[in-house]
Structure 1
Amino acid sequence: MYSLRARRSAALLITAGLAFGLSACTISDGGSGGGDSADDQTLTFWSYYQGTQADWLQAQADQFEKDNPGVTVDIVETVGDQQDQKLLASVATGDTPDLFINNIVVDFPTLVAGGVTADLTEYWDGFADKDQFAESAAWSSDDKVYNLLPFTNLIGLYYNQDILTEVGIDGPPATLDELQADLEVVKADGRYDGIALSGAPTVEGAWLFAPELLGLGIDYCSFDGPEVDAAFERAETWAKAGYTPQATATWDQNDSWQQFATGQYAFGINGNWQLGNAEEATFEWGTAQYPAPAGGTSVVYPGGEGFGIGANSDKKDLAWKFLEEAVLTPEAGESIFTTAGSIPVRADVAELPAIKDNVAVQPFVAAAQTSGSWPKNENTANIQKALGQAVSSVISGQSSAADAGAAAVADIKAALEDGGGGCR
């Protein structure tokens, strides 16, 4: 899912992780932020990256030090689920780090409200390559930019070409209506199963269901109406017909991938981080964008890490220089793709050979340019969970489409109010 912290591992690989030499960067297991440093050229960077993502960040810091003699980047290893509280506490002590990453989907409103993040508006407005980034790359509150999302993880449709050929389906579906028709063909054939996806009562299940409405312009901030009813009715139809097995109601994305990888399922909805695993498949496979709803387009939510500068940093200019040179460049986008499988948001990176020549990744690259915007609400995690629980209840047969849809609408509205009201 969207950079789930438990999944920051080799499962993200599209190519084998690069081996890096010994670094001049310091890697710490603690330490203070960048408020008052004995060395004015030392940047403190709090990161919970692991595995190949950590390798990538280390390499970028190494190169930045090389290009900027006298500068040191001190990478402080933090624990992902403790990052929020650690950052909030750093404000009280006046030593927020110079740089940090955060789980932007969940953390952004809390960190802005807590005074953790510096206002990056002037830096971003003055950035020469700003127009290369999709609007969703700059996260703002009250018209001020506080966080940047330069790389993302997205979901799309995987398909088993061998099965499609055997049952007479000509190519992957572009719309949900076409997908449903294809699932009917697979079901009628009787030899294979329909679609493997996560229907868990969590943010994962919600992340996979939400695009059925996002493509119609309906997001968590406008979650109501006949389109919502129709989406839940579709989920009920698929469940009753057996296109989505009842077990789907508990599958997370790793579970659903393992099922698709057996070769028994015609389709699977999953993320770009599975592309490396797909290379191990014993059948012909392909990828496509998430099928568009009738009358709409293909739009999915972006996941990934936000990059920010600490509000109390006394080296904001140098910290921005790091972001500009080590994170926001085409080279940085290409390297995190080849190292860790994340999708760069920069439009021109899509033209680089490493990405352009990779047919399987193109649907995810396209999705990055049209991705939806998350609500700026401190209760975003519970907002998603409300949807996940409703969808899971339909797939499992515990609720009707009508009851689950009504519950989702009510619970999402309540969660938005609990988080401060609306979508700031």
Structure 2
Amino acid sequence: MRRIRAAAAIATVTALVGAAVTACGGGSNSGGEGSNTSPRTLTYWASNQGPNLAADKKILAPELKKFEDETGIEVKLEVIPWSELLNRILAATTSGQGPDVLNIGNTWSSSLQATGALLPWDAKNFASIGGKDRFVESALGSTGAAGKDPAAVPLYSLSYALYYNKAMFEDAGISGPPATWDELVADGRKLSRNGKWALGAEGSNLVNNIHQAFALGKQHGADFFDGAGRPTFTSDGAVAAVKQYVDFMAKDKIIAPGNAEYAQNQSLRDFAQGKTAMVLWQAAATTFEAQGMKPDEWGVVPVPVASGKPGAGERVNSMVAGINLAVFKNTDNLDRARKFVKYMTGDAAQARLNKAYGSIPPVKAAQKDAAFDRPDTAVLRDTLLKSAAPLPQVPNESQFETSVGTAVKKLFADAAAGRPVTTESVKAELSKAQQQMPKS
């Protein structure tokens, strides 16, 4: 997902899945009895992708107008902050009163799929938008549980990268950005001086925590779940991954202790203001520009690996991030909703929208646009194609984000307070997280 969302909402998914399955589902009653909307009107909930809600409306308005001109279908748009989006979706799945089409974070796909409220994208539905093979495989891997028809269609794709401040590296006598974790720590010790720090983090941001722990976990050979979908949070690889991440503050001293309290993109602000030299983040160019940082002041490279170059298997360096487009299956506007999805995932609209947001089109043909050959977007695109992996597509994925993300938050708090972070203490926190998972 692009914007890091409030994890308190995520924890409610598991509790509401059972209720939502028996509810009437989402979708507006556009054109139905008692409706205040026209039968030729669609309602669309978009997630906040840009620097603010107004920016999203400015980006989306021309596309919605083009769609209306082509089809005669008006789209009523509401852009919803990430802090509210999941709760709004859950309320819609239980009440039956919601939009026709909506954005969802791709990591929510399997959990929301389990509610039964979203339209399954079977072969017929995919055929109506040009076919499933138009989409990048890695993006399709984050659309729902394996063996089931996807619960949504990829809209914007993102991956993590390492952003670095060129001037701070030059001042520290470092010739270029790190490619391995050992290099990052060595560079970080040179950069952490005079009240400035090497690496930014968001220790209280549960979702960012899980994204970092997951990618490091893959590098340590851990998946956090076994083949049957059972949690394996205390495996040696999972423990090593979490400890490595928290040790950037606890042991290596390259993350400021105050970052343990960060949860709302403060690490991006610090980076843009020259307080931190590096940050691990999803597409961030538009955010840096909005905060006054010039494009030539920063560089971007793949997230480091233990050795060698990023790739598959134990050289995965990012989760597959992004936004999916879903349809409430009980909408009275199903045909028009499919037309809207077809438009939004069309080659031309995909190129325009992803260019505006600094994300990568999950539609193969749209990636041929020259905008995605820029150094920053090329790094994100290549990561998605070669070295990103989807978060576990299990029904309890959202609870995984909450429980393990909270464990990492607690360990960062320990590090900030000077309390020891050991293999044993990491394993103990992950054991608590595993005990919080619903029994299958």
Give the structure-2-normalised TM-score. Answer: 0.76
Residue among 413, 422, 432 paired with 1:401: 422
User: SS where residue 228 of structure 1 aligns?
Assistant: helix
1:4: which partner in 2?
4
Instruction: Tell me, in whole angstroms, the C-alpha distance in 2 between the residues paired with 1:413 and 1:5.
Output: 22
Which residue is equivalent to 1:112? Answer: 113
The equivalent of 2:218 in structure 1 is 214
Residues 213 and 242 in structure 2, CA contact (< 8 A), matched pair in contact too: no
The residue aligned with 2:293 is: 281
Note if contact 2:44-2:78 (Cα within 8 Å) is conserved in structure 1. yes
Cα offset, 1:277, TM superposition: 1.6
Contact 1:3 1:303 in 2 (8 A): no
Question: In 2, Cα distance between the equivalents of 1:408 and 1:213?
Answer: 16
Check conservation: 1:330, 1:348, Cα contact below 8 A. Answer: yes
Give the Cα separation in 1 of the matches to 2:91 and 2:62.
Answer: 25
1:165 aligned partner:
170
Q: 1:89 aligns with which of 89, 94, 98?
A: 94
> Which residue identity does 2:74 align to in structure 1?
T
2:28, 2:332 within 8 Å by CA — same for their partners in 1? no
Q: Is the 8 A contact 2:320 2:384 kept in 1?
A: yes
**Cα offsets for 1:9-41 (capped at 9, x unmatched):** xxxxxxxxxxxxxxxxxxxxxx93348378654
Query: In structure 1, what is the equivalent of residue 187 of structure 2?
Result: 182
User: Hey, what's the Cα distance between the residues in 1 that align with 2:399 and 2:224?
Assistant: 11
**Matches of 1:176 and 1:276, distance apart in 2:** 25
Aligned counterparts, 1:10-21, within 5 A: none
CA contact (8 A) 1:159 1:287 kept: yes
Name the counterpart of 1:71: 73
Cα distance in 2 between the residues matched to 1:201 and 1:102: 19
CA drift of 1:286 comes to: 0.4
Residue 323 of structure 1: how far off its partner (Å) = 1.0
Residues 257 and 190 (structure 1), Cα distance of their counterparts in 2 relative to 1, 3 Å cut: same
Partner of 1:27: none
SS in 1 for 2:144: strand
Q: Given the alignment, which residue of 243, 263, 268 partners 2:274?
A: 263
**Deviation digits for residues 166-212 of structure 1, max 9, x if unmatched?**
3332321122222123224445x878532122222622333233321
- When residues 278 and 378 of structure 1 are mapped into structure 2, their CA distance, relative to the original with a 3 A threshold, is same
Corresponding residue for 1:130?
133
SS at the partner of 1:334? Answer: helix
1:116 shift after superposition: 1.2
Name the SS of the counterpart of 2:284 in structure 1: helix
| 2:240 counterpart of 1:230 | yes
Counterpart secondary structure, 2:339: helix
- Relative to structure 1, the CA distance from residue 77 to residue 250 in structure 2 (aligned partners, 3 Å threshold; closer, same or farther) is closer
Alpha-carbon spacing, 1:298–1:176, altered in 2? closer, same or farther (3 Å): farther
The runs of 5 or more residues in structure 2 that have no matched partner are 7-26, 226-231, 309-313
Match for residue 373 of structure 1? 390
1:80 equivalent to 2:80? Answer no
- CA 1:255–1:379 in 2, change beyond 3 Å: closer, same or farther? same
- Conservation of the 8 A alpha-carbon contact between 1:383 and 1:411: no
1:321 corresponds, among 336, 339, 345, to: 339
Query: How many Å separate the matches in 2 of 1:284 and 1:47?
Result: 31
41-50 vs 167-176, greater mean Cα deviation:
41-50
Partner residue in 2 for 1:12: none
User: Within 1, Cα distance between the matches of 2:98 and 2:329?
Assistant: 7
Shift of 1:287: 0.7
- AA at the equivalent of 1:102: I
5 Å-filtered alignment, 1:139-150, equals 139-141=143-145, 142-150=147-155
Which amino acid in 1 is paired with 2:113?
A: V
Aligned mates of 1:177, 1:330 — CA distance in 2: 41
Question: Distance between the aligned counterparts of 1:410 and 1:33, measured in 2?
Answer: 46
User: Structure 1 residues 350 and 292, CA, compared in 2 at 3 Å: closer, same or farther?
Assistant: farther
Rounded Cα–Cα distance in structure 1 between residues aligned with 2:354 and 2:126? 26
Q: Structure 1 CA distance, aligned partners of 2:421 and 2:163?
A: 28
Q: Deviation string for 1:20-70 (max 9, x for gaps)?
A: xxxxxxxxxxx93348378654433344553333333333222112112x4
Task: Tell me the amino acid that sits aligned with residue 329 of structure 1.
Answer: G
Aligned to 1:43: 42
Could you say if the C-alpha distance between residues 355 and 48 of structure 1 is closer, same or farther in structure 2, counting changes exceeding 3 Å?
A: closer
Q: Against the structure 1 CA distance between its residues 242 and 278, is the aligned structure 2 distance closer, same or farther, given a 3 Å change threshold?
A: farther
